Amino acid sequence: VVAVTGAARGIGRAIAELIIACGGTVKALDVNADGLRESAGEVGAAYQPVVVNLTDDDDIARAVAECGPLDGLVNSAGVAMFEPFFETSRKAYDLQMAVNVRGLMQMTQLVTAGMAERIRAGAAPHANFAVVNISSQSSAIALVDHLVYSTTKAAVDHITHITAAELASLGIRVNAVNPTVVRTELAEKAWGEEGLAKIAKKIPLGRLAEPADVAKAVAFLLSEHASMITGVTLRVDG
């Protein structure tokens, strides 16, 4: 059983669908209740919606408790608000930090605490416990208008490295996937087709990433095939 945040659409939904295709069950978390219901109707019974507001500590705790025991967590939810430096607003800063960093960290704390409890109780002797965070290539490069967003993704990378080090003795793995621009509905609205075409020309493989490209990387990092991999930030950038 894997919890996936941001699972109502885009990258999160693609991740949820692939986990289910591989035989798993997904606790699909999102603030978008209508999107969760629609996806549940399309994906099937293994896609189990849990509405959550990642800016609300109490709601996160409630949602994690509702999920029950988990074998994996994918922190895919994120907010992107691109503004020039002098126009960067407190609202944009606070919201992106709340969802992309604080919400991710609290989800990870609560879910891995449950994993640790099961490990210490001897209740999961053959478990493959793993966390995968969705970061971005922008965590490591300077992009105009990306000050706050890129800062949050740099924080995600550091959270990944440090939690991987702290949880390794328990056998809980933590990794991140750092995609280039992914063709989603949100990307199309943000960049437009002309903008996306220009971005694609700068990518050596000559195309944008698709949600499925990210999902495949996540599925690998969750799987037994990655049992000796932790603390990695895996680029999916062409």
pLDDT of residue 138: 85
Provide the residue ranges of all domains of the chain, joining segments of one domain with +. 2-236
Q: What percent of the chain has pLDDT over 90?
A: 84
| 4: Cβ contacts below 8 Å, ≥ 6 apart | 12, 15, 16, 19, 26, 27, 28, 29, 73, 74, 76
Name, in order, each residue with C-beta under 8 angstroms of 52's C-beta and a sequence gap of 6 or more: 5, 29, 30, 31, 59, 60, 62, 63
Task: Judge whether residue 123 has pLDDT over 80.
Answer: no
Strand order across the beta sheet in which 72-75 lies: 47-51, 26-30, 2-5, 72-75, 130-134, 173-179, 233-236
Tens digit of each residue's pLDDT (9 = 90 or more) over 134-175: 999 988 888 888 899 999 999 999 999 999 999 999 999 999
Tokens of 139: 């965590």
pLDDT at residue 144 in the model: 85
Tens-digit pLDDT profile for residues 229-238: 999 999 999 8
Model confidence pLDDT, tens digit, residues 18-72: 999 999 999 999 999 999 999 999 999 999 999 999 999 999 999 999 999 999 9
* Confidence category of residue 222, pLDDT binned at 50, 70, 90: very high
The CB-side HSE value for 213 (13 A sphere, CA atoms) comes to: 17
Report the sign of the C-alpha dihedral through residues 21, 22, 24, 27, in that order: negative
Q: Would you state the structure tokens that stand for residue 112, as one six-digit string? A: 């891995």
Exactly one of 27, 91, 93, 153 is catalytic; which is it?
153
pLDDT bin (cut points 50, 70, 90) of residue 203 is very high
pLDDT score for 101 = 98
Nearest to 2 by CA among 31, 10, 54, 22: 22
Tell me whether residue 93 is one of the annotated catalytic residues: no
Predicted local distance difference test score (pLDDT) of residue 190: 76
pLDDT at residue 145, as a whole number: 81
Contact 143, 136 (CB under 8 A): no
pLDDT at site 41: 97
Q: Whole-prediction pTM value?
A: 0.94
pLDDT of residue 124 exceeding 80 = no
Which token pair is 116? Answer: 């640790």
Active-site residue, 202 included: no
Residue 186 scores a pLDDT above 90 = no
More confident residue, 81 or 103: 103
Q: Which of 85, 199, 234, 213 is nearest to 151 (CA)?
A: 85
Active-site pick, 149, 189, 201, 216: 149
- 89 has a pLDDT exceeding 80: yes
| pLDDT of 4 above 90 | yes
Question: Does the structure show a pLDDT above 90 at 109?
Answer: yes
Rounded to 5°, angle at Cα 217 from 223 and 181: 160
Please check whether residue 54 is in contact with residue 103, taking contact to mean a CB–CB distance below 8 angstroms.
yes
Continuous H helices in the chain: 10-21, 33-43, 57-67, 90-97, 104-120, 147-167, 185-202, 211-222
Question: What CATH number labels 2-236?
Answer: 3.40.50.720
